[in-house]
Amino acid sequence: MTALKNDRFLRALARQPVDVTPVWMMRQAGRYLPEYRATRQKAGDFMALCKNHDLACEVTLQPLERYPLDAAILFSDILTIPDAMGLGLYFETGEGPRFRKVVRTEADVAALPVPDPESDLDYVIRAVRTIRGALNGRVPLIGFSGSPWTLATYMVEGGGSRDFRAAKTMLYTQPQLMHALLDKLADSVIAYLNAQILAGAQAVQIFDSWGGALSAAAYQEFSLAYMRKIVHGLIREHEGRKVPVILFTKGGGLWLESMVDTGADALGLDWTIDIGVARQRVGGRVALQGNMDPSVLFSSPSQIRQEVQRILAAYGHGEGHVFNLGHGIDQHVNPENAGAFIEAVHEFSGAYHG
């Protein structure tokens, strides 16, 4: 076990003192970087890149070579579990992810296996091991999964959706069928994240990308309940250190108190909530991650610096803040602006610590 040279990220998640606020970006390994685009072209396509553990490691490390980031995140996709369940994931140019099979009936749900991560998702687990070794203690490695509700939307719709008509129709007209699907997905996510932890992930994040599309009551029953089950089923200590869990529901600012009650260590915030207000509401019970609007990165470096200062001031003095964007970095962002963002976090945040 290699000692961590930079453990700010893990210390912040544990609400322990840090010298400056740690920062990483959702989708930090991605299309905004020319070196990523070159590696993806070499791989042939996106899934070929995901399934080559050496290339997945290469693109995971690329942003760390450019920027003084405080964490690396596994390069993969949230839809690996449904793919391993036999739905046939593919990517349509201009339309995003699609599945060759959809899940609409009791027979469809019954036929879904709970994937074995070491065999059915071995390429992800190999990537985690490879990346962890290549990092050599430089920064912590984050593993991740999509939430059961988010995965279910893609599986029922057959891909992305604007209104989630098929998924919400199932939820309201056949709630027990939706529960059966979500329960199987929760078991799959537990196995998947635990395998990532055993392979070397030092923190894990659950991406509930579409929880915010639900009503308050439906969110509690069909999204949050299954994330609570996952949190309770995860390995919480490994290699002599706690393995923190981050819950991120896009559009979930209305439900922070309920999210705290899952037992997660940190909540990811999108940009629609003031981080100072969120801090007051959670009362120091969890760390907070976020929450600059990714579109700010289309502005000038001076405006980016101002927004970083505003968010740091809104959070205020003390521990428990991991700076991040409120969602993934856009593919059209100038890499220099991403650099200005990261440098500003480290430059201005020291005043809020110590």
31 annotated to a ligand binding site: yes
Q: What is the mean pLDDT of residues 15-37?
A: 97
Residue 217: strand, helix, or coil: helix
Return the structure tokens found at 86: 């036999």
For residue range 46-71, what is the model confidence (pLDDT) as tens digits? Answer: 999 999 999 999 999 999 999 999 99
Cβ–Cβ under 8 Å, residues 182 and 152:
yes
Domain assignment present for 69: yes
For residue 347, tell me if it sits in a domain: no
The residue from 11, 15, 27, 98 that is catalytic is 27
Is 350 annotated as belonging to a binding site?
no
Q: Is the pLDDT of residue 242 over 90?
A: yes
Q: In sequence order, which residues have a C-beta less than 8 Å from that of residue 92 and are 6 or more positions away?
A: 98, 159
Which residues partner with 91 through β-bridges? 97
Mean pLDDT of 329-337: 97
Task: Tell me if 293 is assigned to some domain.
Answer: no
Q: One of 77, 122, 187, 293 is an active-site residue; which one?
A: 77
**Residue 77 is a catalytic residue:** yes
Q: What is the pLDDT of residue 92?
A: 75
The answer to whether residue 204 sits within a structural domain is yes
Q: Is 162 known to sit in a ligand binding site? A: no
User: 209: annotated binding-site residue?
Assistant: yes
Residue 91 pLDDT: 86
Average pLDDT, the chain: 97
Helix axes 34-43, 53-66, angle to 10 degrees: 170
CA distance 170 to 103: 10
How far is residue 73's CA from residue 143's CA, in Å, rounded to a whole number?
Answer: 6
Q: Is residue 47 part of a domain?
A: yes
Strand locations in the chain, DSSP E? 72-73, 89-92, 96-99, 141-146, 203-208, 237-238, 241-242, 245-249, 266-268, 287-292, 321-325
Q: Which domain holds residue 38?
A: 32-286
CA–CA separation, 59 and 49 (whole Å): 9
- How many domains in the chain? 1
Is residue 77 a known part of a binding site?
yes
Q: Any catalytic annotation for residue 126?
A: no
State how far the Cα of 25 lies from the Cα of 268, in Å rounded to an integer: 12
Nearest to 279 by CA among 292, 271, 289: 289
pLDDT in tens, 89-128: 988 777 789 999 999 999 999 999 999 999 999 999 999 9
Is 1 a residue whose pLDDT tops 70?
no
Report pLDDT for 308: 98
120 marked among binding-site residues: no
Contacts 24+ apart (CB under 8 A), 26-30: 26/73, 26/324, 26/325, 26/327, 26/328, 26/329, 27/328, 27/329, 28/63, 28/67, 28/69, 28/73, 28/329, 28/338, 29/59, 29/60, 29/62, 29/63, 29/73, 29/75, 30/328, 30/329, 30/331
Residue 86 identity (one-letter amino acid): G
Query: What global pTM score does this model have?
Result: 0.97
Q: Collect all residues with Cβ–Cβ distance below 8 Å to 347 and sequence separation of at least 6.
A: none
Instruction: Scan for tokens 């988010």, then name that residue.
Output: 150
Residue of 95, 112, 113 lying closest to 104 (CA atoms): 112
Judge whether 23 lies within some domain. no
pLDDT in tens, 254-287: 999 999 999 999 999 999 999 999 999 999 999 9
Smallest CA-to-CA distance from 99 within 84, 77, 81, 83 is with 83
CATH of residue 155: 3.20.20.210
How many Cβ atoms sit within 10 Å of the Cβ of residue 309? 16
Tell me, yes or no, if 27 is annotated catalytic. Answer: yes
pLDDT recorded at residue 214: 98
Tell me if 277 is assigned to some domain.
yes
Question: Rounded to an integer, what distance in angstroms lies between the CA atom of residue 252 and that of residue 216?
Answer: 9
327 is in an annotated binding site: yes
Catalytic residue among 40, 98, 132, 279: 40
Give a yes or no: residue 335 inside a domain.
no
The residue from 31, 66, 129, 236 that is catalytic is 31
245-248 contact pairs (CB < 8 A, 24+): 245/203, 245/204, 245/205, 245/206, 246/13, 246/203, 246/204, 246/205, 246/206, 246/289, 247/205, 247/206, 247/208, 248/205, 248/206, 248/207, 248/208, 248/289
The one catalytic residue among 32, 36, 67, 154:
154
